[in-house]
Structure 1
Amino acid sequence: MDAYRVCNSNPMDYDIDNVDPKHGKMPCVEERFDSGLDSLKEEEYNNIVKDMESLKMAPPGPTRIECNNEPWKLERTEDGDTFLHLAIIHESPVHAMQMIDLSRGDPFLNVQNNQRQTALHLAVVTEQPLVVERLLQAGCDPQLVDDTGNTALHIACKRGSLTCFGVLTHYCSSSLPSILTKPNYNGHNCLHLASIHGYLCLVESLLRLGADINAQEQCNGRTALHLAVDLQNPELVKLLVSKGADVNTLTYGGYTPYHLTFGRQNGEIQQHLYALTAEELRPLPESESEESDEESSSEDEEMYDDIQLMGQK
Protein backbone atom coordinates (compact mmCIF):
# COMPACT_ATOMS: atom_id res chain seq x y z
CA MET A 1 0.00 0.00 0.00
CA ASP A 2 1.40 3.36 -0.95
CA ALA A 3 -0.86 5.16 1.53
CA TYR A 4 0.48 8.66 2.18
CA ARG A 5 3.98 9.01 0.88
CA VAL A 6 5.97 11.72 2.58
CA CYS A 7 9.15 11.51 0.60
CA ASN A 8 11.25 13.45 -1.86
CA SER A 9 14.04 11.93 -3.90
CA ASN A 10 15.54 15.30 -4.76
CA PRO A 11 18.60 15.77 -2.48
CA MET A 12 17.94 19.51 -2.30
CA ASP A 13 14.29 18.88 -1.35
CA TYR A 14 13.06 21.41 -3.88
CA ASP A 15 13.18 22.05 -7.59
CA ILE A 16 13.86 25.61 -8.73
CA ASP A 17 12.29 24.90 -12.12
CA ASN A 18 8.95 24.04 -10.50
CA VAL A 19 8.50 27.29 -8.63
CA ASP A 20 5.14 28.94 -9.15
CA PRO A 21 6.24 32.22 -10.85
CA LYS A 22 3.17 34.05 -9.61
CA HIS A 23 3.46 33.18 -5.94
CA GLY A 24 7.09 32.15 -5.66
CA LYS A 25 6.06 28.97 -3.84
CA MET A 26 7.02 25.39 -4.36
CA PRO A 27 4.37 22.75 -5.00
CA CYS A 28 3.89 20.31 -2.16
CA VAL A 29 5.52 16.95 -2.83
CA GLU A 30 3.29 14.77 -0.67
CA GLU A 31 0.69 12.99 -2.75
CA ARG A 32 -2.07 10.60 -1.84
CA PHE A 33 -1.63 7.63 -4.14
CA ASP A 34 -4.16 5.16 -2.76
CA SER A 35 -6.15 4.53 0.38
CA GLY A 36 -4.64 1.18 1.25
CA LEU A 37 -7.43 -0.91 -0.26
CA ASP A 38 -5.26 -2.43 -2.99
CA SER A 39 -3.12 -4.30 -0.50
CA LEU A 40 -6.11 -5.93 1.24
CA LYS A 41 -8.28 -8.77 0.08
CA GLU A 42 -12.01 -8.15 0.28
CA GLU A 43 -12.42 -10.56 3.19
CA GLU A 44 -9.55 -8.92 5.11
CA TYR A 45 -10.99 -5.45 4.51
CA ASN A 46 -14.45 -6.52 5.70
CA ASN A 47 -12.90 -7.98 8.84
CA ILE A 48 -11.07 -4.72 9.53
CA VAL A 49 -14.27 -2.71 9.12
CA LYS A 50 -16.11 -5.12 11.42
CA ASP A 51 -13.36 -4.94 14.06
CA MET A 52 -13.29 -1.14 13.90
CA GLU A 53 -17.04 -0.93 14.33
CA SER A 54 -16.91 -3.24 17.34
CA LEU A 55 -14.39 -1.09 19.22
CA LYS A 56 -15.79 0.29 22.45
CA MET A 57 -14.50 2.89 24.85
CA ALA A 58 -12.65 1.20 27.70
CA PRO A 59 -14.11 1.85 31.15
CA PRO A 60 -11.81 3.30 33.80
CA GLY A 61 -10.03 1.00 36.19
CA PRO A 62 -8.13 -2.30 35.90
CA THR A 63 -9.70 -3.22 32.57
CA ARG A 64 -7.50 -0.55 30.94
CA ILE A 65 -4.50 -2.90 31.45
CA GLU A 66 -6.34 -5.67 29.62
CA CYS A 67 -6.99 -3.31 26.71
CA ASN A 68 -3.26 -2.99 26.14
CA ASN A 69 -3.25 -6.62 25.00
CA GLU A 70 -6.16 -6.38 22.61
CA PRO A 71 -5.58 -8.52 19.47
CA TRP A 72 -6.46 -5.61 17.15
CA LYS A 73 -3.32 -3.79 18.33
CA LEU A 74 -1.17 -6.56 16.88
CA GLU A 75 -2.71 -6.56 13.41
CA ARG A 76 -0.57 -5.17 10.57
CA THR A 77 -1.08 -4.81 6.82
CA GLU A 78 1.70 -5.80 4.44
CA ASP A 79 2.86 -2.18 4.58
CA GLY A 80 3.09 -2.22 8.36
CA ASP A 81 -0.05 -0.17 9.01
CA THR A 82 -2.05 -0.75 12.19
CA PHE A 83 -5.81 -0.31 12.52
CA LEU A 84 -5.06 3.16 13.84
CA HIS A 85 -3.01 4.02 10.75
CA LEU A 86 -5.86 2.79 8.56
CA ALA A 87 -8.52 4.73 10.45
CA ILE A 88 -6.52 7.93 9.97
CA ILE A 89 -5.75 7.18 6.31
CA HIS A 90 -9.45 6.56 5.67
CA GLU A 91 -10.25 9.76 7.58
CA SER A 92 -12.42 8.06 10.15
CA PRO A 93 -11.79 10.19 13.26
CA VAL A 94 -14.44 8.42 15.36
CA HIS A 95 -12.68 5.05 15.06
CA ALA A 96 -9.25 6.69 15.36
CA MET A 97 -10.13 8.48 18.58
CA GLN A 98 -11.67 5.34 20.07
CA MET A 99 -8.40 3.49 19.50
CA ILE A 100 -6.37 6.41 20.82
CA ASP A 101 -8.44 6.55 24.02
CA LEU A 102 -7.99 2.79 24.44
CA SER A 103 -4.22 3.21 24.09
CA ARG A 104 -3.22 6.10 26.36
CA GLY A 105 0.42 5.72 27.32
CA ASP A 106 0.67 2.56 25.20
CA PRO A 107 3.64 2.07 22.80
CA PHE A 108 0.99 1.13 20.24
CA LEU A 109 0.53 4.87 19.56
CA ASN A 110 4.11 5.11 18.32
CA VAL A 111 4.11 2.10 16.00
CA GLN A 112 5.73 3.01 12.67
CA ASN A 113 4.71 1.51 9.34
CA ASN A 114 7.13 0.48 6.60
CA GLN A 115 7.68 4.15 5.75
CA ARG A 116 8.33 4.77 9.46
CA GLN A 117 5.20 6.93 9.66
CA THR A 118 3.45 7.03 13.02
CA ALA A 119 -0.23 7.79 13.43
CA LEU A 120 0.84 11.36 14.22
CA HIS A 121 2.63 11.74 10.88
CA LEU A 122 -0.46 10.54 9.04
CA ALA A 123 -2.81 12.76 11.02
CA VAL A 124 -0.77 15.80 9.90
CA VAL A 125 -0.60 14.59 6.30
CA THR A 126 -4.38 14.16 6.24
CA GLU A 127 -5.03 17.50 7.96
CA GLN A 128 -6.83 16.15 11.02
CA PRO A 129 -5.84 18.54 13.85
CA LEU A 130 -8.33 17.05 16.34
CA VAL A 131 -6.72 13.64 15.90
CA VAL A 132 -3.27 15.25 16.21
CA GLU A 133 -4.35 16.81 19.50
CA ARG A 134 -5.81 13.57 20.86
CA LEU A 135 -2.66 11.64 19.92
CA LEU A 136 -0.39 14.12 21.70
CA GLN A 137 -2.63 14.14 24.77
CA ALA A 138 -2.48 10.33 24.83
CA GLY A 139 1.33 10.25 24.76
CA CYS A 140 2.34 9.96 21.09
CA ASP A 141 6.03 10.89 20.65
CA PRO A 142 6.37 14.02 18.42
CA GLN A 143 10.11 13.50 17.94
CA LEU A 144 9.87 10.28 15.92
CA VAL A 145 10.90 10.65 12.28
CA ASP A 146 9.68 8.94 9.12
CA ASP A 147 11.90 7.40 6.44
CA THR A 148 12.86 10.86 5.15
CA GLY A 149 13.82 12.12 8.59
CA ASN A 150 10.76 14.32 9.05
CA THR A 151 8.96 14.74 12.35
CA ALA A 152 5.26 15.60 12.30
CA LEU A 153 6.23 19.28 12.68
CA HIS A 154 8.54 19.09 9.65
CA ILE A 155 5.58 17.81 7.64
CA ALA A 156 3.32 20.60 8.90
CA CYS A 157 5.95 23.16 7.84
CA LYS A 158 6.35 21.48 4.48
CA ARG A 159 2.62 21.42 3.81
CA GLY A 160 1.83 24.84 5.26
CA SER A 161 -0.63 23.35 7.73
CA LEU A 162 -1.24 26.23 10.15
CA THR A 163 -3.77 24.36 12.28
CA CYS A 164 -1.67 21.23 12.78
CA PHE A 165 1.38 23.44 13.31
CA GLY A 166 -0.44 25.28 16.10
CA VAL A 167 -1.54 22.07 17.82
CA LEU A 168 1.92 20.50 17.58
CA THR A 169 3.79 23.50 18.94
CA HIS A 170 1.25 23.93 21.77
CA TYR A 171 1.54 20.36 23.02
CA CYS A 172 5.26 19.87 22.30
CA SER A 173 6.69 22.75 24.30
CA SER A 174 9.18 20.57 26.19
CA SER A 175 10.58 18.89 23.07
CA LEU A 176 10.17 21.87 20.72
CA PRO A 177 13.77 23.17 21.00
CA SER A 178 15.08 19.76 19.93
CA ILE A 179 12.60 19.43 17.05
CA LEU A 180 13.36 22.93 15.72
CA THR A 181 17.07 22.13 15.40
CA LYS A 182 16.58 18.63 14.00
CA PRO A 183 17.47 18.31 10.29
CA ASN A 184 15.71 15.79 8.09
CA TYR A 185 17.67 13.46 5.82
CA ASN A 186 17.97 16.22 3.20
CA GLY A 187 19.62 18.44 5.81
CA HIS A 188 16.66 20.80 6.23
CA ASN A 189 15.11 21.86 9.52
CA CYS A 190 11.57 23.20 9.98
CA LEU A 191 12.56 26.79 9.16
CA HIS A 192 14.27 25.72 5.94
CA LEU A 193 11.17 23.79 4.84
CA ALA A 194 8.80 26.67 5.58
CA SER A 195 11.15 29.01 3.68
CA ILE A 196 11.51 26.69 0.68
CA HIS A 197 7.74 26.49 0.32
CA GLY A 198 7.23 30.21 0.91
CA TYR A 199 5.04 30.04 4.03
CA LEU A 200 5.75 33.45 5.54
CA CYS A 201 3.33 33.00 8.46
CA LEU A 202 5.06 29.78 9.48
CA VAL A 203 8.48 31.39 9.12
CA GLU A 204 7.42 34.17 11.51
CA SER A 205 5.91 31.67 13.95
CA LEU A 206 9.04 29.49 13.93
CA LEU A 207 11.26 32.49 14.63
CA ARG A 208 8.98 33.57 17.44
CA LEU A 209 9.23 30.07 18.92
CA GLY A 210 13.03 30.20 18.90
CA ALA A 211 14.15 28.76 15.55
CA ASP A 212 17.69 29.81 14.61
CA ILE A 213 17.32 32.23 11.71
CA ASN A 214 20.93 31.65 10.61
CA ALA A 215 20.92 27.85 10.84
CA GLN A 216 22.65 26.30 7.81
CA GLU A 217 21.16 23.35 5.97
CA GLN A 218 23.53 20.43 5.81
CA CYS A 219 23.73 19.95 2.04
CA ASN A 220 25.81 23.05 1.25
CA GLY A 221 25.37 25.48 4.11
CA ARG A 222 22.51 27.64 2.87
CA THR A 223 20.56 29.60 5.46
CA ALA A 224 16.88 30.48 5.11
CA LEU A 225 18.01 33.75 3.52
CA HIS A 226 20.10 31.93 0.91
CA LEU A 227 17.07 29.75 0.12
CA ALA A 228 14.82 32.82 -0.19
CA VAL A 229 17.24 34.28 -2.75
CA ASP A 230 17.49 30.95 -4.55
CA LEU A 231 13.71 30.88 -4.92
CA GLN A 232 13.51 34.60 -5.79
CA ASN A 233 11.06 35.40 -3.00
CA PRO A 234 11.48 39.13 -2.22
CA GLU A 235 8.85 39.13 0.56
CA LEU A 236 10.67 36.35 2.38
CA VAL A 237 14.03 38.07 1.88
CA LYS A 238 12.67 41.27 3.45
CA LEU A 239 11.05 39.37 6.31
CA LEU A 240 14.21 37.46 7.17
CA VAL A 241 16.39 40.56 6.97
CA SER A 242 13.95 42.47 9.20
CA LYS A 243 14.10 39.62 11.73
CA GLY A 244 17.89 39.77 11.92
CA ALA A 245 19.15 37.30 9.32
CA ASP A 246 22.92 37.62 8.82
CA VAL A 247 23.47 38.76 5.21
CA ASN A 248 27.18 37.93 5.49
CA THR A 249 26.78 34.24 6.29
CA LEU A 250 28.75 32.10 3.84
CA THR A 251 27.73 28.75 2.39
CA TYR A 252 30.25 25.94 2.52
CA GLY A 253 31.38 27.12 -0.92
CA GLY A 254 31.95 30.67 0.34
CA TYR A 255 28.85 32.39 -1.08
CA THR A 256 26.78 35.08 0.62
CA PRO A 257 23.07 35.49 -0.14
CA TYR A 258 24.07 38.46 -2.35
CA HIS A 259 26.28 36.22 -4.49
CA LEU A 260 23.27 34.04 -5.27
CA THR A 261 21.50 37.00 -6.90
CA PHE A 262 23.87 36.88 -9.87
CA GLY A 263 22.19 35.41 -12.93
CA ARG A 264 18.78 35.82 -11.33
CA GLN A 265 16.05 38.11 -12.64
CA ASN A 266 14.93 39.94 -9.52
CA GLY A 267 17.01 43.11 -9.39
CA GLU A 268 15.18 44.32 -6.27
CA ILE A 269 16.62 41.48 -4.20
CA GLN A 270 20.10 42.10 -5.59
CA GLN A 271 20.05 45.81 -4.81
CA HIS A 272 18.64 45.22 -1.35
CA LEU A 273 21.33 42.71 -0.40
CA TYR A 274 24.17 44.64 -2.08
CA ALA A 275 23.57 47.56 0.27
CA LEU A 276 23.62 45.29 3.32
CA THR A 277 26.51 42.97 2.44
CA ALA A 278 29.97 43.79 3.77
CA GLU A 279 32.05 45.48 1.06
CA GLU A 280 34.85 42.92 1.22
CA LEU A 281 32.33 40.10 0.67
CA ARG A 282 30.64 41.55 -2.41
CA PRO A 283 33.05 40.19 -5.07
CA LEU A 284 32.33 36.65 -6.15
CA PRO A 285 34.84 34.12 -4.76
CA GLU A 286 37.09 32.42 -7.27
CA SER A 287 35.84 29.01 -8.23
CA GLU A 288 37.94 25.91 -7.67
CA SER A 289 38.06 25.30 -11.43
CA GLU A 290 39.59 28.73 -12.03
CA GLU A 291 42.16 28.15 -9.32
CA SER A 292 43.06 24.72 -10.69
CA ASP A 293 43.40 26.18 -14.21
CA GLU A 294 45.78 28.85 -12.92
CA GLU A 295 47.82 26.29 -11.00
CA SER A 296 47.97 24.03 -14.04
CA SER A 297 49.07 26.91 -16.25
CA SER A 298 51.78 27.87 -13.76
CA GLU A 299 53.02 24.27 -13.57
CA ASP A 300 53.11 24.03 -17.37
CA GLU A 301 55.22 27.18 -17.63
CA GLU A 302 57.72 25.83 -15.10
CA MET A 303 57.82 22.45 -16.83
CA TYR A 304 58.63 23.87 -20.27
CA ASP A 305 60.66 26.95 -19.36
CA ASP A 306 63.89 25.38 -20.74
CA ILE A 307 62.60 24.76 -24.29
CA GLN A 308 64.84 26.30 -26.95
CA LEU A 309 63.68 27.44 -30.38
CA MET A 310 66.38 28.19 -32.98
CA GLY A 311 68.94 28.43 -30.23
CA GLN A 312 66.83 30.84 -28.18
CA LYS A 313 65.37 29.88 -24.84
Structure 2
Amino acid sequence: MVSIIVPVYNDPEGVRATLESLRPQLAATDATAVVVDNGSTDRTPATIDSYADGESIRHRTEAEIQSSYAARNTGVRATDSDILAFVDADMTVPENWLESALAEFRSTGADYMGCSVDLTLPENPTLAARYDHHTGFPIGQYLEHQQFVPTCCLFVRREVFEDVGLFDHRLVSGGDKEFGNRVHEAGYEMHAAADVTMFHPTRNSLRALISKDRRVGRGLCQLQRYYPARYGTPGVPPRPSGIKSPDPALPLRDRLAFSALSHTLTGVRGLGYYHEYLASLRGGDARDKGGAGDSAGPPELEPRP
Protein backbone atom coordinates (compact mmCIF):
# COMPACT_ATOMS: atom_id res chain seq x y z
CA MET A 1 0.00 0.00 0.00
CA VAL A 2 1.13 3.55 -0.79
CA SER A 3 0.34 6.81 0.98
CA ILE A 4 1.11 10.28 -0.37
CA ILE A 5 1.83 12.83 2.37
CA VAL A 6 0.96 16.44 1.49
CA PRO A 7 1.90 19.08 4.10
CA VAL A 8 0.28 22.50 3.71
CA TYR A 9 0.12 25.85 5.46
CA ASN A 10 -2.06 28.76 4.31
CA ASP A 11 -2.20 27.71 0.66
CA PRO A 12 -5.78 26.82 -0.35
CA GLU A 13 -5.20 27.24 -4.07
CA GLY A 14 -1.95 25.28 -3.97
CA VAL A 15 -3.46 22.31 -2.14
CA ARG A 16 -6.47 22.42 -4.46
CA ALA A 17 -4.21 22.16 -7.52
CA THR A 18 -2.27 19.30 -5.96
CA LEU A 19 -5.36 17.28 -4.99
CA GLU A 20 -6.99 17.84 -8.39
CA SER A 21 -3.81 16.44 -9.91
CA LEU A 22 -3.50 13.47 -7.55
CA ARG A 23 -7.12 12.40 -7.16
CA PRO A 24 -7.54 10.56 -10.49
CA GLN A 25 -4.47 8.44 -9.74
CA LEU A 26 -5.44 7.34 -6.24
CA ALA A 27 -8.20 4.92 -7.22
CA ALA A 28 -6.15 3.51 -10.09
CA THR A 29 -3.29 2.54 -7.76
CA ASP A 30 -5.17 1.86 -4.51
CA ALA A 31 -3.16 4.68 -2.91
CA THR A 32 -4.25 7.21 -0.30
CA ALA A 33 -3.39 10.87 0.16
CA VAL A 34 -2.91 12.21 3.68
CA VAL A 35 -3.12 16.01 3.68
CA VAL A 36 -1.67 17.52 6.85
CA ASP A 37 -2.66 21.08 7.64
CA ASN A 38 0.05 22.79 9.70
CA GLY A 39 -2.25 25.16 11.61
CA SER A 40 -3.48 27.27 8.70
CA THR A 41 -5.45 30.44 9.49
CA ASP A 42 -7.20 30.86 6.14
CA ARG A 43 -9.44 28.74 3.88
CA THR A 44 -6.95 25.87 3.64
CA PRO A 45 -8.71 23.51 6.12
CA ALA A 46 -12.06 24.03 4.38
CA THR A 47 -10.44 23.41 1.00
CA ILE A 48 -8.96 20.12 2.24
CA ASP A 49 -12.35 19.11 3.68
CA SER A 50 -13.97 19.66 0.29
CA TYR A 51 -11.78 16.84 -1.08
CA ALA A 52 -11.41 14.58 1.96
CA ASP A 53 -13.58 11.47 1.94
CA GLY A 54 -11.95 9.68 4.87
CA GLU A 55 -10.65 6.94 2.60
CA SER A 56 -8.64 7.88 -0.49
CA ILE A 57 -8.06 11.45 0.77
CA ARG A 58 -7.67 12.03 4.49
CA HIS A 59 -7.36 15.28 6.42
CA ARG A 60 -5.01 15.49 9.41
CA THR A 61 -3.77 18.45 11.46
CA GLU A 62 -0.41 19.27 13.02
CA ALA A 63 -1.07 22.42 15.07
CA GLU A 64 1.38 21.87 17.93
CA ILE A 65 4.62 22.40 15.98
CA GLN A 66 4.87 24.95 13.18
CA SER A 67 7.13 23.00 10.83
CA SER A 68 6.62 21.32 7.47
CA TYR A 69 8.78 18.47 8.76
CA ALA A 70 6.51 18.02 11.78
CA ALA A 71 3.53 17.97 9.40
CA ARG A 72 5.20 15.27 7.32
CA ASN A 73 5.90 13.24 10.47
CA THR A 74 2.24 13.51 11.44
CA GLY A 75 1.32 12.21 8.00
CA VAL A 76 3.67 9.25 8.31
CA ARG A 77 2.17 8.33 11.69
CA ALA A 78 -1.35 8.60 10.28
CA THR A 79 -0.83 5.67 7.91
CA ASP A 80 0.65 2.18 8.01
CA SER A 81 1.55 2.04 4.31
CA ASP A 82 4.70 0.26 3.19
CA ILE A 83 5.69 3.05 0.80
CA LEU A 84 5.43 6.75 1.63
CA ALA A 85 5.55 9.48 -0.99
CA PHE A 86 5.91 13.18 -0.21
CA VAL A 87 4.47 15.92 -2.41
CA ASP A 88 4.32 19.63 -1.56
CA ALA A 89 1.02 21.49 -1.76
CA ASP A 90 1.19 23.54 -5.00
CA MET A 91 2.87 20.77 -7.00
CA THR A 92 1.13 18.87 -9.80
CA VAL A 93 1.85 15.58 -11.50
CA PRO A 94 1.14 14.20 -14.99
CA GLU A 95 -1.09 11.25 -15.78
CA ASN A 96 0.38 7.91 -14.70
CA TRP A 97 2.96 9.67 -12.49
CA LEU A 98 2.27 7.44 -9.50
CA GLU A 99 2.19 4.25 -11.56
CA SER A 100 5.49 5.15 -13.24
CA ALA A 101 7.14 6.18 -9.97
CA LEU A 102 6.11 2.98 -8.20
CA ALA A 103 7.28 0.84 -11.11
CA GLU A 104 10.73 2.42 -11.00
CA PHE A 105 10.89 2.37 -7.21
CA ARG A 106 10.18 -1.34 -7.12
CA SER A 107 12.19 -2.39 -10.17
CA THR A 108 15.35 -0.65 -8.95
CA GLY A 109 15.06 -2.02 -5.43
CA ALA A 110 15.29 1.51 -4.06
CA ASP A 111 14.59 2.33 -0.44
CA TYR A 112 14.72 6.10 -1.02
CA MET A 113 13.97 7.73 -4.38
CA GLY A 114 13.63 11.24 -5.74
CA CYS A 115 11.61 12.18 -8.83
CA SER A 116 12.62 14.79 -11.37
CA VAL A 117 11.08 18.25 -10.85
CA ASP A 118 10.31 20.70 -13.65
CA LEU A 119 9.68 24.30 -12.65
CA THR A 120 6.74 25.86 -14.50
CA LEU A 121 6.76 29.51 -15.51
CA PRO A 122 3.68 31.75 -15.47
CA GLU A 123 2.70 33.85 -18.44
CA ASN A 124 4.86 36.98 -18.70
CA PRO A 125 7.35 35.74 -16.06
CA THR A 126 9.15 38.21 -13.82
CA LEU A 127 12.92 38.32 -13.45
CA ALA A 128 12.55 36.41 -10.17
CA ALA A 129 10.52 33.66 -11.88
CA ARG A 130 12.98 33.36 -14.76
CA TYR A 131 15.89 33.16 -12.31
CA ASP A 132 14.14 30.48 -10.23
CA HIS A 133 13.38 28.50 -13.39
CA HIS A 134 17.00 28.79 -14.54
CA THR A 135 18.50 27.52 -11.25
CA GLY A 136 16.01 24.64 -11.15
CA PHE A 137 15.93 21.40 -9.14
CA PRO A 138 19.04 19.34 -10.03
CA ILE A 139 17.80 16.21 -8.24
CA GLY A 140 20.50 13.94 -9.63
CA GLN A 141 23.25 16.32 -8.51
CA TYR A 142 21.76 16.62 -5.04
CA LEU A 143 21.74 12.85 -4.66
CA GLU A 144 25.20 12.28 -6.17
CA HIS A 145 27.06 15.02 -4.33
CA GLN A 146 25.04 15.61 -1.15
CA GLN A 147 23.18 12.31 -0.66
CA PHE A 148 19.65 13.69 -0.46
CA VAL A 149 16.68 14.77 -2.54
CA PRO A 150 14.10 17.43 -1.60
CA THR A 151 11.05 16.26 0.32
CA CYS A 152 8.74 17.66 -2.37
CA CYS A 153 9.46 14.68 -4.66
CA LEU A 154 10.46 11.84 -2.35
CA PHE A 155 9.53 8.15 -2.01
CA VAL A 156 10.68 6.22 1.10
CA ARG A 157 10.03 2.73 2.42
CA ARG A 158 8.40 2.74 5.84
CA GLU A 159 11.08 0.44 7.22
CA VAL A 160 13.63 3.20 6.60
CA PHE A 161 11.76 5.55 8.93
CA GLU A 162 11.42 2.76 11.49
CA ASP A 163 15.19 2.31 11.39
CA VAL A 164 16.67 5.84 11.17
CA GLY A 165 13.80 7.92 12.57
CA LEU A 166 11.52 10.61 11.17
CA PHE A 167 12.34 14.13 9.92
CA ASP A 168 14.00 16.51 12.38
CA HIS A 169 11.23 19.01 13.04
CA ARG A 170 13.59 21.46 14.76
CA LEU A 171 14.99 22.53 11.39
CA VAL A 172 13.38 25.38 9.43
CA SER A 173 15.26 24.21 6.32
CA GLY A 174 17.65 21.40 5.49
CA GLY A 175 15.58 18.66 7.07
CA ASP A 176 15.49 16.89 3.72
CA LYS A 177 19.29 16.93 3.56
CA GLU A 178 19.70 15.78 7.17
CA PHE A 179 17.25 12.91 6.69
CA GLY A 180 18.82 11.87 3.38
CA ASN A 181 22.27 11.87 4.99
CA ARG A 182 21.01 9.59 7.76
CA VAL A 183 19.54 7.23 5.17
CA HIS A 184 22.83 7.23 3.25
CA GLU A 185 24.88 6.55 6.38
CA ALA A 186 22.59 3.63 7.24
CA GLY A 187 23.44 2.03 3.88
CA TYR A 188 20.05 2.11 2.18
CA GLU A 189 19.66 2.08 -1.60
CA MET A 190 19.11 5.61 -2.95
CA HIS A 191 17.95 6.37 -6.48
CA ALA A 192 17.08 9.34 -8.70
CA ALA A 193 14.20 8.68 -11.12
CA ALA A 194 15.22 11.01 -13.94
CA ASP A 195 12.31 9.99 -16.17
CA VAL A 196 9.56 10.38 -13.56
CA THR A 197 8.63 14.06 -13.56
CA MET A 198 6.64 16.33 -11.26
CA PHE A 199 5.84 20.02 -11.68
CA HIS A 200 6.51 22.87 -9.26
CA PRO A 201 5.57 26.52 -9.88
CA THR A 202 8.39 29.05 -9.80
CA ARG A 203 8.74 31.64 -7.08
CA ASN A 204 7.62 34.75 -8.87
CA SER A 205 8.77 37.63 -6.67
CA LEU A 206 12.02 38.84 -5.19
CA ARG A 207 10.38 38.73 -1.76
CA ALA A 208 9.67 35.01 -2.20
CA LEU A 209 13.26 34.29 -3.23
CA ILE A 210 14.63 36.30 -0.29
CA SER A 211 12.32 34.50 2.14
CA LYS A 212 13.50 31.12 0.85
CA ASP A 213 17.22 31.94 1.01
CA ARG A 214 16.95 33.51 4.44
CA ARG A 215 15.26 30.31 5.66
CA VAL A 216 17.96 28.20 3.98
CA GLY A 217 20.64 30.21 5.79
CA ARG A 218 18.94 29.65 9.12
CA GLY A 219 18.71 25.95 8.36
CA LEU A 220 22.44 25.74 7.58
CA CYS A 221 23.22 27.16 11.01
CA GLN A 222 20.76 24.81 12.70
CA LEU A 223 22.33 21.81 10.97
CA GLN A 224 25.68 22.79 12.50
CA ARG A 225 24.11 23.46 15.86
CA TYR A 226 22.39 20.09 16.13
CA TYR A 227 24.89 18.01 14.10
CA PRO A 228 28.35 19.64 14.39
CA ALA A 229 30.19 16.37 13.73
CA ARG A 230 28.49 16.11 10.34
CA TYR A 231 28.07 19.73 9.24
CA GLY A 232 30.79 21.72 11.01
CA THR A 233 31.24 24.15 13.87
CA PRO A 234 28.46 26.70 14.50
CA GLY A 235 29.63 30.22 13.69
CA VAL A 236 31.69 29.07 10.71
CA PRO A 237 29.25 28.99 7.78
CA PRO A 238 29.70 26.35 5.10
CA ARG A 239 31.18 27.37 1.80
CA PRO A 240 28.50 29.14 -0.26
CA SER A 241 26.88 26.85 -2.79
CA GLY A 242 24.21 29.24 -4.02
CA ILE A 243 26.29 31.08 -6.61
CA LYS A 244 25.62 29.47 -9.98
CA SER A 245 27.18 30.61 -13.24
CA PRO A 246 24.43 31.61 -15.68
CA ASP A 247 24.14 29.57 -18.87
CA PRO A 248 26.38 31.20 -21.53
CA ALA A 249 23.56 30.72 -24.03
CA LEU A 250 21.38 33.20 -22.18
CA PRO A 251 21.09 36.78 -23.45
CA LEU A 252 23.73 39.05 -21.92
CA ARG A 253 21.09 41.03 -20.02
CA ASP A 254 19.81 37.87 -18.31
CA ARG A 255 23.32 36.62 -17.54
CA LEU A 256 24.17 39.88 -15.79
CA ALA A 257 20.87 40.03 -13.92
CA PHE A 258 21.02 36.37 -12.84
CA SER A 259 24.62 36.72 -11.67
CA ALA A 260 23.78 39.81 -9.59
CA LEU A 261 20.69 38.14 -8.14
CA SER A 262 22.62 34.98 -7.30
CA HIS A 263 25.25 36.93 -5.35
CA THR A 264 22.56 38.95 -3.59
CA LEU A 265 20.68 35.85 -2.49
CA THR A 266 23.88 34.22 -1.28
CA GLY A 267 24.31 37.28 0.92
CA VAL A 268 20.73 36.89 2.16
CA ARG A 269 21.52 33.29 3.02
CA GLY A 270 24.49 34.51 5.06
CA LEU A 271 22.30 36.99 6.92
CA GLY A 272 19.87 34.20 7.76
CA TYR A 273 22.76 32.08 9.00
CA TYR A 274 24.08 34.74 11.36
CA HIS A 275 20.62 35.70 12.54
CA GLU A 276 20.15 32.12 13.67
CA TYR A 277 23.66 31.94 15.11
CA LEU A 278 23.23 35.07 17.22
CA ALA A 279 19.83 33.84 18.41
CA SER A 280 21.45 30.56 19.52
CA LEU A 281 24.05 32.48 21.53
CA ARG A 282 21.19 34.15 23.40
CA GLY A 283 19.99 30.74 24.50
CA GLY A 284 17.41 29.85 21.87
CA ASP A 285 16.83 29.81 18.14
CA ALA A 286 15.20 32.23 15.77
CA ARG A 287 11.95 30.33 15.45
CA ASP A 288 8.75 32.24 15.96
CA LYS A 289 6.66 31.48 19.01
CA GLY A 290 5.11 28.04 18.69
CA GLY A 291 8.08 26.53 16.88
CA ALA A 292 9.93 23.37 17.74
CA GLY A 293 12.67 25.16 19.68
CA ASP A 294 15.61 23.19 21.01
CA SER A 295 13.80 19.97 21.86
CA ALA A 296 15.14 16.46 21.35
CA GLY A 297 16.36 15.24 17.95
CA PRO A 298 14.48 13.39 15.23
CA PRO A 299 11.50 11.48 16.65
CA GLU A 300 11.31 7.74 16.23
CA LEU A 301 8.64 5.82 14.34
CA GLU A 302 7.36 2.84 16.24
CA PRO A 303 7.51 -0.37 14.16
CA ARG A 304 4.18 -1.83 13.17
CA PRO A 305 2.98 -4.85 15.19
TM-score over 0.5 for the pair: no
Give 1 or 2 for the bigger CA radius of gyration.
1
TM-score (norm 2): 0.28
